[in-house]
Amino acid sequence: MIKKLQAINIWGIVALLCATPLIAALAPRAFAWWVPLLGLFALPLGDKDKTPMWIMASVPMWIGTWSLMSIMWAAYPDLQLEKAIARLPMLYGLSIAVLGLGNLREDVWEKAMSPMFWVYTVSIFAAWLEYSFDFPLYRLFNKNVADLNVAQFVMNRGLTGMAMLVIPMTWIGWHKGHKKLALFLVIFLTAGMAITEASAAFLSILVAEVIFVLAWFWPNVTRYLMMISGAVKIMIMPVLALFMFTHMPPWDALNSPSTGGRLEIWYGVSKLIQNHPIMGYGYEATRFLPLPIKQAYFNLPIVMHPHNAALQFWIEFGVLGAIACAIGWINWAQKSRSAPALALMAMTGTVGFLSYGLWQGAWLGLAIFALLYWRAAATSFGNKIQ
């Protein structure tokens, strides 16, 4: 009876894993709860010979605790406390995801990997069809939609999901004997991204491809350059953001709500950081703090998040948050010793520095799943260096 239940659980988690690329492409917001669900199903199937990833799993809990502590110096303590408490279940769920998926038996991963590659291939073409033919699936489930800009925004999340999964998927396809298809998927995804609104995802793919080539020939040099430049950028980001906005060249490409607006947001956030550089303003402060800007490109008084991971650490937790962010980046770079691992790190960092808020559950779930999936894929084919 126990073996029968275990077999059901194994095929259950395999089925959920196989569905994940399609979820990433067409329902990316579900990653806020989908990845914790995967971790929960995977918990009973842990490999006894693996050391559980206790430190990585505890990071979301540390962040949750830190967010609650920051209420002591928060700009709007009542509102920020409410937001921090509401996010705790999501953060704890991500801890479960890390423990479950990080310790999942390799034979279970092996059962899922080949079907996941084919589902990923179908998902890319499904995303292409959705984007190219006026969002038919989005219209089907949102029959009253009138503004297609909303549909494009939702689709951009799916394209980010496709980008984040392309490295482990390509690795699997290549080692499963589908080299031409794996290479085609990378080229098709890169070319397709170039004509979409997902500019951050497109840029992240380009950066990842450049880093992959550099790391293929000069792995140690590339790793140390990423380590040092990333840590320095995190620490000087408020000063850098002020300089970039006040010295913007008169280029038409910058004169847009997306690019110019983002630079103006960074400028306003950096001005606020100057006033409280030590402790910051507390968890999710930008949702409530008016930005000291002239609204030349960004026409709202506040912003949901800074669209920049380093600035979010700075404005919420001050210099201590920035130091913690830099230490995390250095530790990540030290563990990334292969060209695909460095490319995935570069991709994640690029999206994190340009797009989503740090505490958005869908983005965190996607990033964590992509990293754990790469870890499993690399190990399964003999690459013990993550």
Q: How far apart are CA 149 and CA 152, in angstroms?
A: 5
**382 pLDDT tier (thresholds 50, 70, 90):** low
pLDDT-derived band at 376, boundaries 50, 70, 90: very high
Structure token digits, residue 317: 């937790």
Q: Are 102 and 52 in contact (CB under 8 A)?
A: yes
227/258 Cα distance (integer angstroms)? 28
Closest CA to 42 of 368, 378, 385: 368
Mean pLDDT over the full length of the chain: 89
SS3 labels along 46-109: ECCCCCCCHHHHHHHHHHHHHHHHHHHHCCCHHHHHHHHHHHHHHHHHHHHHHHHHHCECHHHH
Average pLDDT over residues 160-168: 94
Does 283 have pLDDT greater than 80?
A: yes
Looking at residue 144, its pLDDT comes to 62
Per-residue pLDDT averaged across 295-321, rounded?
Answer: 93
For the segment 320-327, the average pLDDT, to the nearest whole number, is: 95
pLDDT given for residue 146 in this prediction: 58
Residue 124: burial class (beta carbons within 10 Å; 0-12, 13-18, 19+): buried
List of residues 6+ apart from 261 with CB closer than 8 A: 297, 298
Q: Tell me the percentage of the chain whose pLDDT exceeds 90.
A: 71
pTM beyond cutoff 0.75: yes
CA 138/CA 152 separation, integer angstroms: 10
Backbone angles phi, psi at 104, to 5 degrees: -65, 140
Q: How much is the pLDDT for 3?
A: 63
- Highest mean pLDDT out of 1-10, 53-62, 339-348: 339-348
Mean pLDDT along residues 257-262:
84
Task: Report pLDDT for 385.
Answer: 47
Q: Which two tokens stand for residue 252?
A: 């038409």
**H helix or E strand, kind and range, residue 380:** helix 361-380
- Condensed to tens digits (0 to 9), the pLDDT of residues 181-226 reads 999 999 999 998 888 878 889 999 999 999 999 999 999 999 999 9
User: pLDDT by residue (tens digit) across 76-120?
Assistant: 999 999 999 999 999 999 999 999 999 999 999 999 999 999 999
| pLDDT, average across residues 165-172 | 95
pLDDT-derived band at 326, boundaries 50, 70, 90: very high
Burial of residue 314 (CB within 10 Å: 0-12, 13-18, 19+) is buried
Label residue 143 by pLDDT band (50, 70, 90).
low
Residue 244 Cα to chain centre, angstroms:
24
The pLDDT value given to residue 139:
72
Tell me, what's the pLDDT at 131?
A: 77
Q: Provide mean pLDDT across the span 311-325.
A: 96
Tell me the three state secondary structure of residue 300.
coil
Quick one: average pLDDT of 46-58? Answer: 88
> Residue 129 has what pLDDT?
83
* pLDDT grade for 136, boundaries at 50, 70 and 90: confident
Q: What is the pLDDT of residues 60-70, one digit of tens each?
A: 999 999 999 99
User: Do 351 and 360 contact (CB within 8 A), yes or no?
Assistant: no
Smallest CA-to-CA distance from 358 within 292, 270, 284, 298 is with 284
Per DSSP, 358 falls in state T
Neighbours of 205 (CB within 10 A): 28
The Cα–Cα gap between 218 and 206 comes to 18
> Closest Cα partner for 115 from 161, 159, 169?
169
**pLDDT score of 336 more than 70:** yes
- Tokens read off for 254: 């910058």
